[in-house]
Structure 1
Amino acid sequence: MKKIKLGLILILLSVYGYGQQTSRINNNWQFLKQDIGGIWEAVRPVTAGNPESVPVWSQVSLPHCFNSRDAVDPTGNYYQGPGWYRTQIDVQNPYTYGRTLLHFEGAGQKTDVYLYTTKVGSHLGGYDEWTVDITKAAEDFKKTAVCKKQFGGKVPISIRCDNSRDLESIPSRLSDFCVYGGIYRYLNLVYAPSLSIDKVFASASVDLQKKAGLVNVRLRFYNPGKDSLATVKSSLFDPAGRVVDSSQIKLKGLKGDIAVSSFSVQNPSLWSPNNPALYTLKVSVIGKTGAVMQTEKVGFRNFEFVDYGPFKLNGQRLLLKGTHRHDDQAGVAAAVTEDMMRKEMLMIKDMGANFIRLGHYQQSRIILNLCDSLGILVWEEEPWCRGGLGGDVYKNQARGMLTNMIEQHYNHPAVIIWGLGNENDWEGDFSDFDKQEIRTFMGEQNDRAHRLDPSRKTAIRRCDFCKDIVDVYSPSIWAGWYRGAYKDYKYTTETEFKLVKHFLHIEWGGDSQALRNSEDPEGFLNNIPTGKGADERLGDANLHGGNARVSRDGDWSESYICDLFDWTLKEQETMPWLTGTAFWTFKDFATPLRPENPVPYVNQKGVVEHDLTKKESYYVFQSYWANKPMVHIYGHNWPVRWGKAGELKMVKVYSNCTEAELFANGKSYGVKKRNSADFPAAGFHWDVVFKPGSNHLKVVAKSGGTVLTDEIDQMYQTEKWSKPSKIIIKKVSLAEGVVTVQVNLVDDQGIQCLDAKNTITFSLAGDGTLLDNVGTSRGSRVVQAYNGRALISVKTNNGSSTIGVSSAGLPTVFLAL
């Protein structure tokens, strides 16, 4: 009878996927952006309408970040301190002797969890996952009179998050990104039997010569009741959902990481960026009080960093074409939802990237799952970033977060590198900066990573005195931005490549102000020293002081950065020894270190803005990397060009098609063949005579049997202007209760000053809401003009408002909306 019952359970598990019950706790939260006097303030009875019921909590949903708006508020730095969340949950665990857990996918940066007035858990670190067992506290509280009388049988949960500055925690607050606060990743309520699964470790390897794959499976139990017996069934399914093999084992003694199955696979489908083939592993555990199942995705792939040579995947050279990602988006900061993550990662894939560095901390399991399914190789990194090295608390946090990152993301085939740190040569948090101590700890972390996962490589970026410790090293090379000119790129990279066994170029590119374009983006380059290195040094990111450099003296136009990217991508195609690169970064993001940028407090090195609006540079990468045919005329966000009457103006078209023909005002300027050696735009550039006023451009591109077109209209201004003397303001659109306003800077003759970069400040009075603090060129109330103009929007709220616009030295103007 017992055998029949066990067999039935196993059949049900395999067919229906029955397992522990998990649900996201997204709704019915209250939030307080300050500290409280004690936990009693979070749970004490409140009489409706009592004017003395302070502090006042606000309604929020999860995920939620303290700094959803203030991180890019131009008036000052973002809030760093404690904040509280509270809710009530109905605990109804269906299992006899079951466990009730709160599973945090990430909360920043120090978190304390209370059930009523009892502290039930704490965690240090803002990016790894962790769990609090509330079983006993919930059972005890539900027996009290206050549970029924005050909370209607529900259990009150209060959570304190704190992102206060702390030198003894990582990442350093000297880092060039915000260290956010809040429950900014999903929080789950989990019901599990007394014996459940803590972690599944599935090691998938492949022998390319024998065309054979092997999956070894280890299991770690969550077993607070100290059960000693369990039955484990494991099944492996191929990418089409067919069963490859199954196994069953009975265990006595459930401590440690236990090997439970091993599967051999002949001629496995290999995982790659072009074919991200995923196998499914299902592991079922049957204990005396219930059963659980966990599903994992695995992939067979073989990778190699050839000594002093390129990168190989599955035996073939693959140029890693990469970017970077911060967990940060307009309007939500770190509280990026699953839908937002999916949209962003699809954009990265559509751009043609096959590699990403998740900087500078462990990111959401959702991101890793997307990398697996989309075919994007991953360098993931522990948050030891800048500042030096602290004491025991600091080191223990780093040890724990590295361990968690590796164990929690162990099964993802996309991961090839565990990053151990970033810019660890950057001192400042401590009075002593001891390179040998940093080397010693880096060596310890390197050994830890290899012990936890011998199959992946370790890496760091920019810490020359530790470059011999890790498997893969990236020096600092910013040709054409912080040092040198972009045409120094190939020579500088090849020089650095020869200094380490395994080289990978991480972080390159530069900033661009979205919507700012230039007729002469390189006119300043004669003042930039070349041939003297292309690294970044202390102070280079400042907009004043130091030696001449593009980051300070350039125009921050999209025109310049497109040329920099274009040249560098062209060069990378001629470097057969290159493993690959990742430009910094895919998306603009908030940072406390850059208040003087054209969009204050925003690092503007993205090829999309903070809200995922594409800049022109997105299409440069797509033209080199994407497989799907595309074509894009440069200048969709450049409404007015300028110059002399009859002057030849270059029109650039970014495309991966084999040929393209340009038409200007109906006239053909000829067909050109794609040739990446023909800079710029891989040969797709034409000299065109624009007529004063409106001009229509059209391109027809062909690739095989595919024909694509793109069209834009541009005005051509031949009138010369002097310096700005006044501001012109007008409405340019009204839709769904949102009015968009544009301001233009003009001279005393009323001619638009197309090179003006004056700082513009918007203000609003009345019923409306200024749609600012999103960290974009169109969404900041303080912004540098782009070609003598600036845009912002106002939600009218069905009322009346007046918008004000000011700029130093110019008369302030107002417009009634």
Structure 2
Amino acid sequence: MFFILLSTFSTLKAQKSTRLNNNWSFLKEDLGGVWEAVRPVVAGNPESLPIWTNVTLPHCVNAEDAVDPDVNYYQGPAWYRTQIDVQNPYSNGKTLLHFEGAGQKTSVYVYTTKVGEHVGGYDEWTVDITDAVEAFKKTAVYNKQFKGKIPISIRTDNSRDLEMIPSNLSDFNVYGGIYRYLNLVYVPTLSVDKMFAKAEVDAAGKSGKLTVNARFYNPHKINNATVELKLVDAAGKVVAKSEKSLNNLSGDVAVWSTKIKNPKLWSPSNPQLYHLDYIVKSAAGNYAGTEKVGFRNFEFVDNGPFLLNGKRLLLRGTHRHEDHAGVGAAMTENQIRQEMLMMKEMGVNFIRLGHYQQSRIVLNLCDSLGILVWEEIPWCRGGLGGETYKNQARRMLTNMIEQHYNHPAVIIWGLGNENDWPGDFPEFDKEKIRSFFKELNALSHKLDISRKTALRRCDFCSDIVDVYSPSIWAGWYRGAYTDYKQSVQEEFKKVKHFIHIEWGGDSHALRHSENPDNALSKIKTGVGTDERAGDASLYGGAARISKDGDWSE
């Protein structure tokens, strides 16, 4: 197997990057092997089967069946193939395929050579195809069969797997396909893998600090480089700049730390963003990139309100799942933008991205529109699996934090959702779940001490995270909607930092009627307001205002 890079590139904008949207063929079943995707085919011969269809990316395997109430949506392997022209402009440069998201297990081939694979449908990852491309160019079929193009085949698989998160007990579809953008990227031999920019400011907003660390992609072990950086405000004014020579490019390298006096503060009402522009100069050539940063200070007061830049802010928000009718998870950039603009227009200043890391496009829009973010990994229901399961959770948390570290909109890293819900494993051990939550909590703080950790609905772990949201569904699953105030007051006293992140009683249309449906008006009170196993079928609607289903979102 050729050299594999499974990583992320947060600085694609300034590089030579192209979205590979067009000229794809798709097969909604498995192949006997990758050879079936690339072998020569004569019309009418048996090799012409199976029949592929033409699609554009992003593309979701479940664009149609996910919303069909009469069938199980497809969970299994699928294939994509295309032929690309590879002409790297850099001398000895690297050619990369950068995936913004594909689900849920993905394998990548150049001709018949497997060049990379990834487990996880929500984090970004990159495969270095340089060596495989150069080797293929030396074969006879490169010109004879493929006419100077490089055949790329990609297998995705969203089959059910108990040792993979998210669980199929989750109340959202576990989609398959290349449902976010796929990019062809050219970089010099030395480039930036990640540029971490930490923007801090005191509560008074007077004294700011910018700390920048770089992680390089340096497969040829270049020893020396110079990094030029400048911080530019929204008006184009250079606020600060730096130049630093480096002779050790391994690990996370400190490249800049500077104080910023009276920075313009980021907030939902005035989302001021700065540009951090940089150039890495080395014997391999120049690599340029840019990151957006924002200065803001936030605090969850113990047993009190939320403060942003020293002032109380009422968080008014909603949730978002990354899917849409007709396309499944394969939302285009325009569709995402329209959706986020609607949220901002309706008054949202806070959003929970449930229940998984979402597209970089979403986070960029939250930054520019001024929408605070709770983003979480998809450890959702089912219990706790083995080491394969736990390693994926660790990796997804690490990738989410590192890939979205620079976004000023993010204030909370969510560690899980409804983890008191068993069912995927014979064992449901609360102490083991607590132990793993403690590990994830420590990992989150190690990677990013500036944000809070959070969890929704797992009372036996509520003391572990920084911010906790209990389950209160008054008037939906249990109790009457008028019980909300008392329930919130009781839960508020149990934890230092309370937030109520999920409810739905007031969204039932008949709750706004003078004479609600007779069955709904007889809901029992005095038995709590939390969601419990089986409640979805109890109070999802009277017989039958709506079909039975899981109404927890």
In the comparison of the two structures, how many residue pairs are matched? 542
Q: Distance in 2 between matches of 1:224 and 1:64?
A: 32
- Is 2:25–2:80's contact at 8 Å kept on the other side of the alignment? yes
Aligned pair partner of 2:174 in 173, 179, 187: 179
Return closer, same or farther for 1:457/1:75 CA change in 2, 3 Å cut-off.
same
Alignment of 1:331-730 (within 5 A): 331-510=326-505, 520-521=515-516, 523-542=518-537, 549=539, 551-553=540-542, 596-597=547-548
- Is 2:520–2:541's contact at 8 Å kept on the other side of the alignment? no
- Is 2:481–2:506's contact at 8 Å kept on the other side of the alignment? no
Equivalent residue number for residue 326 of structure 1: 321
Equivalent residue number for residue 249 of structure 1: 244
Q: Distance in 1 between matches of 2:470 and 2:15?
A: 46
Alignment of 1:133-152 (within 5 A): 133-152=128-147
Query: Is structure 2 residue 197 aligned with structure 1 residue 206?
Result: no
Deviations 1:731-768 (A, max 9, x none): xxxxxxxxxxxxxxxxxxxxxxxxxxxxxxxxxxxxxx
Q: CA deviation at 1:208?
A: 3.0
SS in 2 for 1:395: helix
Equivalent residue number for residue 75 of structure 1: 70
Query: Is structure 2 residue 295 aligned with structure 1 residue 306?
Result: no
SS in 1 for 2:533: coil
Deviations 1:160-179 (A, max 9, x none): 00000000000000000000
Deviations 1:276-334 (A, max 9, x none): 00011012111212111111111111000000011010111111111000011000000
Q: Distance in 1 between matches of 2:28 and 2:518?
A: 48
Q: Distance in 2 between matches of 1:538 and 1:507?
A: 16
Percent pairwise identity = 69
Which structure carries more relative contact order (alpha carbon 8 Å, separation 6+)? 2
SS in 2 for 1:203: strand
Equivalent residue number for residue 285 of structure 1: 280
Q: CA deviation at 1:189?
A: 0.2
Code of the aligned partner of 2:25: Q
- Is 2:412–2:454's contact at 8 Å kept on the other side of the alignment? yes
Aligned pair partner of 2:83 in 75, 85, 88: 88
Deviations 1:134-168 (A, max 9, x none): 00000010111111101001110000000000000
SS in 1 for 2:378: coil
Q: CA deviation at 1:524?
A: 4.0
Equivalent residue number for residue 221 of structure 1: 216
SS in 1 for 2:211: strand
Return closer, same or farther for 1:514/1:474 CA change in 2, 3 Å cut-off.
closer
Q: Distance in 2 between matches of 1:307 and 1:515?
A: 37
Code of the aligned partner of 2:437: M
Query: Is structure 2 residue 42 aligned with structure 1 residue 47?
Result: yes
- Is 1:20–1:193's contact at 8 Å kept on the other side of the alignment? no
Return closer, same or farther for 1:392/1:18 CA change in 2, 3 Å cut-off.
closer
Q: CA deviation at 1:468?
A: 0.6
SS in 2 for 1:427: coil
Return closer, same or farther for 1:272/1:60 CA change in 2, 3 Å cut-off.
same
Aligned pair partner of 1:36 in 31, 35, 47: 31
Unpaired stretches in structure 2, ≥5 consecutive residues = 1-11
- Is 2:61–2:177's contact at 8 Å kept on the other side of the alignment? yes
- Is 1:439–1:466's contact at 8 Å kept on the other side of the alignment? yes
Q: Distance in 1 between matches of 2:118 and 2:13?
A: 30
Return closer, same or farther for 1:159/1:210 CA change in 2, 3 Å cut-off.
closer
Aligned pair partner of 1:129 in 113, 124, 130: 124
Q: Distance in 2 between matches of 1:413 and 1:257?
A: 21
Code of the aligned partner of 1:314: N
Aligned pair partner of 1:315 in 310, 316, 331: 310
Q: Distance in 2 between matches of 1:64 and 1:96?
A: 34
Return closer, same or farther for 1:261/1:292 CA change in 2, 3 Å cut-off.
same
Code of the aligned partner of 1:422: N
TM-score normalised by L of structure 1: 0.65
SS in 1 for 2:541: helix
Q: Distance in 2 between matches of 1:526 and 1:253?
A: 70
Q: Distance in 2 between matches of 1:516 and 1:382?
A: 33
- Is 1:93–1:99's contact at 8 Å kept on the other side of the alignment? yes
What is the RMSD computed on CA atoms of the aligned residues?
1.9
- Is 2:229–2:241's contact at 8 Å kept on the other side of the alignment? yes
SS in 2 for 1:505: coil
Return closer, same or farther for 1:602/1:290 CA change in 2, 3 Å cut-off.
farther
Code of the aligned partner of 1:247: S
- Is 1:511–1:556's contact at 8 Å kept on the other side of the alignment? no
Query: Is structure 2 residue 119 aligned with structure 1 residue 119?
Result: no
Query: Is structure 2 residue 11 aligned with structure 1 residue 22?
Result: no
Equivalent residue number for residue 653 of structure 1: none
- Is 1:512–1:604's contact at 8 Å kept on the other side of the alignment? no
Q: Distance in 1 between matches of 2:13 and 2:168?
A: 44
Q: CA deviation at 1:602?
A: 8.6
Deviations 1:659-703 (A, max 9, x none): xxxxxxxxxxxxxxxxxxxxxxxxxxxxxxxxxxxxxxxxxxxxx
- Is 1:127–1:363's contact at 8 Å kept on the other side of the alignment? yes
Q: CA deviation at 1:552?
A: 3.4
Return closer, same or farther for 1:276/1:556 CA change in 2, 3 Å cut-off.
farther
Code of the aligned partner of 1:552: G
TM-score normalised by L of structure 2: 0.95
Return closer, same or farther for 1:515/1:195 CA change in 2, 3 Å cut-off.
farther
Code of the aligned partner of 1:133: D
Unpaired stretches in structure 1, ≥5 consecutive residues = 1-16, 558-595, 606-817
